[in-house]
């Protein structure tokens, strides 16, 4: 057996060189392999989390002990818990939530496969802008290094390619303790970045270059009953959205202006850019990655558990779990933009914005919003972490908004023809 | 007067009690049978308090509340079948009203013509007054067919009806822009079909056929809020001259007649070079009549003799039986038109809308210098015109960022409209079209402003118009409060009018009034 032979010095050197070369090749091939899905925590970090959870999971957090977990909650929300009377919380209970265990979220097979397939194909210019944006799917930057890469990852979350949900979104005035109701039915359809439903990754025959379509049918308030609109987002960041509305009360199909996206959406605390906590082209902001922050987040929230009385700014009985969020500062390039900095706290496993803090144009703290998500079954039989609601709070005006999304289907069949003018006016 | 105040106080108390005790926990739109049947509508109380009445009009009024209308509207949508291949739905709408001002005002009660009052105070005919729409809607693939009574909106501007030619309007109580189209427009029985093509521009074809069901434009009645002031001919009381004529026009209006009264139209909708456009053609009877001058004179004589007799005997005017001859003729005409909408990304993201029309053979009365009492013939003229509107949103320094506006910008729409009569002459009677006697052209500006405040709790709306050639204007600022919950709204506003005296002054110049309205919508 030759390898048992005592080697000469020259042979040793040759062998060491060969082994070094093997290690280098193996290392290089390891670097090319896309590491996805990812987990919010390393094994060591997770062990620490589990240790912390032994004390806290199942604990009810309210005004009496909020300070003990204050490091994991935005300061403004801690203030709400301490001064619940300003936010129309129940007189006896105030605000409260429970702590649950961290649960890893794994994306769908389609998203994982697309990430592995397309992430190596990403082409960027010197500014980091994606050059082949419309050709990709999955998460383009599985190990993001910059704020812009994280923002792109957020943008590529395709909500299951299609989705259908009912939104109950009262406009909340905590000062008077009253709600003004709004109910809409909404569909989403992605033309590109598709990972779940054929055709993938893009819908062929898309000459206008649409990115995504949203169709909305309003039921309340009554003056908007049966008002329907659709809004098309172009992949080209230079193009404004294309929006048409069938305003049932006036029975007219109207082209709507979409340029001024910092206009508030009829009476709510949302501006048009605020949907999903950012609803615009990625190129409109500059991004700064500020590291990570541990926060308590509603990532597995069953909205049926949420308890809330009319006028209450924040629902009770939520279950929040720890998550090491990615912190990104998003600053709009428009110097006259209504907001100063938006701070996004992004789920590293789904790239959904779980918390956002917003400053005004004078960089005074203004709003803080929390997203509720949950693992839901898709039509393909998989599990997808999906938005099921959110709460908006305006700390300058003491005003709030609440939203529950009753999801009817994810990755379902949605006819793209519904994003046409002729579809807007149906029967009524 | 005491009864008026009691009535108003009771009304407000009942409304407020209802609001605070029941409105808070009210439910959304009514859905039955697993959502297959959806009911919606409104109940509203509207009152106008006149702040400007001529001395002549005051003689026929006890007080300034000359409009107190309770109205309700209910629409039902029933889905028989809904699948990707075939959708079948039934849609129906009914309205009801009671205009109570004559109960509050003895004189008004006395001076509205009896026949008019019955039509004005409450609905009389199920088909004409109550049933607004009733149709079956069938959608299969690219085809859609609607059969039944329908209201069609072909225009895209807020108030102007440049290309909106299908349904006639009913001005007895309502005006466009303030009231809903279900209240203002009269439904027509028709067959309406659509075909969504895959041609370039994704052309949508639409065709309408009305098998001879005619409804005429209804003018407001004399002595009512929107109508001309009552006048006593020769000092005698009873039905006034205009109401007598108006009733005859109504009686002369065509009824169902497939052979003579059919109407049909076509419209194509498309999208080309960033412009949403429509082209339309309508062939139908004019909603308003031309008058046979000689017969109108005979009809007038019948009235004048009755008035003189009443004056001499001290009784009320009794003009006698309606004559068999026709006075009003609703002539066929054709309209070619179109609309365009354009989103100007390069201009603040504003939206521009254009509508145009060409009326071929529009009927006119003529005679003398075009005054109503000089009419001695009728003729046809071609007319054309357009309206262009600019819609934008503006941030007002400080205000938009304030707690009042809560980041909501001011919605602004400015519209300019212009129309021309080809081969115009002084003799054409055209004051209703806002043309000066010798002027072939009429034009005007209108303004719409909307500012939502306090996160939608309050909304300010201003609608106004100005016609520079005839110096006629209108304005209506309104403040709406949206009560918590989802059903109750209250509006307080003021409407004011102005016009230079003379030919084009019209009947609205002294209709300034405070608007009070409370609505329950579901």
Q: What is the pLDDT of residue B211?
A: 96
Is the Cβ pair B351, A219 closer than 8 Å?
Answer: no
Which of A220, A310, A415 lies closest to B84 in CB terms?
Answer: A415
pLDDT confidence bin for A427, thresholds 50/70/90: low
B:198-217 residues touching chain A, CB 8 A cutoff: 202, 204
Cβ within 8 Å, pair A250-B153: yes
Check CB contact of B155 with chain A, cutoff 8 Å: yes
On the CB side of B461, CA atoms within 13 Å amount to: 14
Q: What is the mean pLDDT of residues B189-205?
A: 92
CA A196 to chain centre: 18
Q: Does A255 touch chain B (CB under 8 A)?
A: yes
Nearest CA in chain B to A428: B91
Six token digits for residue A197: 């439903």
Instruction: Return the pLDDT at B500.
Output: 82
pTM of the model: 0.84
Q: Which of A237, A259, A281 would you mutate first to test chain B, the one with the most B CBs within 10 A?
A: A259
Q: Please name every residue paired with A167 in a beta bridge, in sequence order, or none if there are none.
A: A184, A405
Closest to A181 (Cα-Cα) out of B466, B303, B101, B482? B482
Chain B residues inside the 8 Å CB shell of A270 = none
pLDDT digits (tens, 9 = 90+) for B430-452: 878 888 888 999 999 999 999 99
Q: Tell me what ipTM this predicted complex has.
A: 0.80
CA distance B520 to chain A (A): 9
Domains and CATH numbers, chain A: 147-279+359-428 (2.50.20.10)
Answer yes or no: is pLDDT of B502 > 80. Answer: no
Using CA coordinates, name the residue in chain A closest to B137: A427
Distance from CA of B76 to the nearest CA of A (A): 10
pLDDT reported for residue B3: 53
pLDDT (mean) for B277-306: 93
A:150-179 residues touching chain B, CB 8 A cutoff: 171, 173, 176, 178-179
B480-496 mean pLDDT: 89
Determine what percent of chain B is predicted with pLDDT higher than 90.
54
Are the beta carbons of B77 and A428 separated by less than 8 Å?
yes
Model confidence at B495: pLDDT above 80: yes
The pLDDT confidence band at residue A353, using thresholds 50, 70 and 90, is very high
Q: A215 falls in which pLDDT band (50, 70, 90)?
A: very high
Residue A224, both tokens: 């908007």
Mark yes or no for CB contact A255/B139 under 8 Å: no
pLDDT at residue B503 tops 70: no
Q: Has residue A21 got a pLDDT over 60?
A: no
Q: Are B239 and B253 in contact (CB under 8 A)?
A: no
CATH of the domain at B507: 2.40.160.10
Identify the domain containing residue B173 by its residue range.
2-521
> What sign does the dihedral A334-A335-A336-A338 (CA atoms) show?
positive
The lowest-confidence range among A26-30, A83-87, B86-90 is A26-30
Average pLDDT over residues B250-278: 93
B456 interfacial to chain A (CB closer than 8 Å)? yes
pLDDT band at A270 (very low <50, low <70, confident <90, very high): confident
**Chain B neighbors of A422, CB-CB under 8 A:** 194, 196, 202, 204, 269
Each residue of A362-381: pLDDT tens digit? Answer: 899 999 999 999 999 999 99
pLDDT band with cut points at 50, 70 and 90 for residue A14: low
Beta strands in B310-440 (DSSP E): 328-329, 332-344, 350-366, 377-394, 410-421
Whether residue A27 is predicted with pLDDT greater than 60 in this model: the reply is no
Q: What is the pLDDT of residue B22?
A: 41
pLDDT at B180 over 90: no
What's the pLDDT at A7?
41
In the prediction, which pLDDT does B465 show?
Answer: 92
Total domains in chain B come to 1
pLDDT of residue B110: 83
Check if A242 contacts B (Cβ < 8 Å). Answer: yes
Q: What is the pLDDT of residues A183-201, one digit of tens each?
A: 999 999 999 999 999 999 9
What Cα–Cα distance (Å) separates residue B265 from each residue in B150, B215, B240, B255, B430?
A: 14, 16, 38, 20, 26
Q: What is the structure's pLDDT at A26? A: 43
Mean pLDDT of all residues belonging to chain A:
90
pLDDT reported for residue A22: 46
Q: Give the list of residues 6+ apart from residue B243 with CB closer than 8 angstroms, or none.
A: B113, B115, B116, B221, B222
Report which of A281, A140, A149, A272 is spatially closest to residue A212, judged by C-alpha positions: A281
**Residue B20, pLDDT score:** 43
Residue numbers in B near A428 (CB within 8 A): 75, 77, 91
pLDDT reading at B26 higher than 70: no
| Band of pLDDT at residue A48, cut at 50, 70 and 90 | very high
Residue B148 confidence (pLDDT) above 90: yes
- Mean pLDDT across the stretch A152-168? 97
Share of chain B above pLDDT 70, in %: 93
Residues of A in contact with B395 (CB under 8 A): 260
CB pairs under 8 A between A and B: 147
Residue B8 pLDDT > 60: no
Residue B21 has pLDDT above 50, yes or no: no
């Amino acid at each position: 057996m030759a390898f048992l032979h005592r080697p000469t010095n020259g042979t040793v050197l040759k062998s060491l060189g060969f082994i070094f070369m093997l290690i280098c090749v193996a290392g290089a091939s390891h670097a090319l392999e896309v590491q996805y899905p990812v987990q919010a925590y390393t094994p060591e970090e997770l062990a620490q989390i589990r240790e912390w959870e032994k004390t806290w999971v199942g604990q009810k957090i309210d005004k009496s002990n909020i300070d003990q977990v204050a490091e994991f909650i935005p300061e403004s929300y801690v203030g709400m818990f301490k001064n619940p009377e300003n936010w129309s919380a129940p007189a006896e209970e105030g605000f409260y939530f429970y702590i649950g265990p961290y649960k890893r979220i794994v994306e769908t097979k389609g998203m994982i496969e697309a990430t592995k397939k397309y992430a190596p194909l990403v082409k960027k210019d010197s500014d980091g802008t994606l050059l082949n944006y419309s050709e990709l799917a999955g998460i383009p930057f599985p190990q993001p290094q910059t704020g812009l890469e994280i923002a792109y990852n957020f943008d590529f979350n395709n909500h299951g390619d299609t989705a259908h949900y009912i939104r109950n979104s009262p406009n909340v005035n905590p000062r008077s303790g009253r709600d003004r109701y709004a109910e809409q039915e909404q569909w989403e359809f992605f033309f590109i970045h598709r990972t779940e439903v054929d055709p993938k990754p893009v819908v062929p025959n898309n000459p206008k270059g649409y990115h995504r379509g949203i169709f909305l049918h309003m039921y309340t308030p009554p003056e908007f009953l049966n008002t329907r609109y659709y809004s098309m987002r172009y992949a080209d960041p230079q193009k404004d959205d294309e929006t048409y509305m069938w305003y049932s009360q006036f029975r007219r199909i109207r082209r709507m202006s979409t340029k001024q996206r910092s206009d508030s959406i009829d009476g709510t605390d949302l501006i048009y850019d605020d949907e999903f906590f950012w609803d615009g082209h990625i190129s409109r902001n500059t991004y700064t990655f500020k590291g990570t922050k541990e926060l308590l987040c509603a990532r597995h929230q069953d909205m049926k558990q949420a308890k809330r009385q009319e006028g209450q700014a924040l629902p009770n009985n939520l279950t929040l779990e720890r998550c090491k969020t990615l912190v990104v500062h998003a600053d709009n390039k428009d110097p006259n933009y209504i907001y100063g900095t938006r701070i996004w706290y992004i789920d590293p496993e789904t790239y959904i914005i779980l918390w956002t803090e917003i400053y005004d144009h004078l960089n005074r703290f203004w709003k803080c919003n929390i997203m509720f998500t949950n693992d839901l079954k898709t039509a393909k039989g998989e599990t997808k972490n999906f938005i099921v609601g959110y709460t908006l709070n305006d700390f300058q005006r003491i005003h709030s908004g609440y939203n529950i999304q009753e999801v009817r289907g994810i990755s379902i069949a949605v006819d793209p023809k519904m994003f046409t003018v002729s579809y807007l006016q149906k029967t009524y | 007067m005491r009864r008026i105040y009691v009535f108003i106080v009771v009304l407000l108390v009942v409304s407020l009690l209802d609001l605070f005790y029941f409105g808070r926990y009210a439910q959304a739109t009514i859905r039955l049978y697993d959502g297959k049947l959806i009911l919606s509508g409104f109940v509203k109380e509207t009152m106008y308090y006149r702040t400007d009445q001529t001395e002549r009009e005051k003689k026929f009024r006890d007080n300034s509340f000359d409009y107190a209308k309770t109205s309700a509207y209910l629409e039902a949508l029933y889905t028989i079948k809904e699948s990707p291949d075939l959708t079948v739905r039934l849609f129906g709408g009914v309205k009801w009203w009671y205009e109570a001002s004559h109960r509050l005002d003895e004189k008004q009660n006395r001076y509205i013509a009896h026949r008019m009052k019955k039509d004005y105070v409450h609905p009389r005919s199920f088909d004409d007054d109550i049933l607004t729409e009733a149709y079956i809607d069938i959608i299969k693939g690219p085809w859609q067919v609607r059969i039944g009574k329908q209201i069609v909106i072909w225009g895209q501007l807020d108030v102007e009806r440049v290309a909106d030619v299908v349904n006639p309007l009913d001005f007895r109580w309502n005006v466009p822009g303030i009231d809903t189209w279900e209240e203002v427009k009269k439904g027509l029985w028709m067959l309406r079909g659509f075909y969504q093509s895959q041609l370039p521009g994704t052309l949508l074809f639409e065709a309408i056929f009305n098998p001879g069901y005619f409804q005429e434009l209804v003018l407001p009645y004399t002595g009512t809020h929107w109508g001309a002031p009552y006048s006593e001919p020769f000092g005698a009381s009873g039905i006034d001259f205009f109401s007598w004529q108006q009733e005859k026009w109504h009686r002369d209006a065509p009824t169902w007649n497939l052979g003579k009264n059919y109407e049909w139209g076509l419209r194509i909708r498309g999208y080309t070079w960033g412009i949403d456009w429509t082209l339309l053609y309508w062939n139908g009877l004019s909603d308003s009549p031309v008058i046979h001058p000689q017969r109108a004179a005979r009809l007038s004589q019948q009235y004048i003799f009755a008035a003189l007799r009443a004056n001499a005997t001290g009784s009320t005017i009794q003009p006698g039986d309606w004559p068999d001859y026709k006075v009003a003729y609703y002539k066929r005409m054709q309209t070619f038109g179109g609309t365009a909408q354009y989103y100007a990304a390069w201009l603040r993201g504003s939206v521009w809308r254009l509508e145009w029309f060409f009326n071929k053979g529009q009927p006119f009365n003529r005679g003398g210098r075009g005054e109503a009492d000089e009419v001695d013939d009728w003729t046809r003229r071609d007319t054309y015109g357009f309206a262009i509107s600019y819609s934008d949103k503006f941030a007002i320094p400080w205000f938009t960022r304030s707690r009042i506006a809560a980041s909501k910008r001011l919605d602004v729409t400015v519209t300019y409209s212009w129309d021309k009569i080809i081969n115009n002459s002084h003799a054409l009677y055209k004051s209703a079209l806002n043309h000066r006697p010798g002027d072939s052209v009429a034009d005007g500006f209108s303004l719409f402003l909307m500012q939502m405040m306090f996160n939608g709790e309050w909304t300010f709306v201003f609608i106004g118009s100005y016609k520079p050639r005839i110096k006629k204007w209108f304005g209506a600022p309104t403040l709406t409060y949206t009560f918590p919950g989802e059903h109750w709204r209250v509006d307080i506003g003021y409407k004011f009018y102005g016009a230079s005296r003379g030919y084009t002054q019209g009947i609205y110049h002294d209709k300034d009034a405070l608007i009070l309205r409370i609505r329950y919508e579901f």
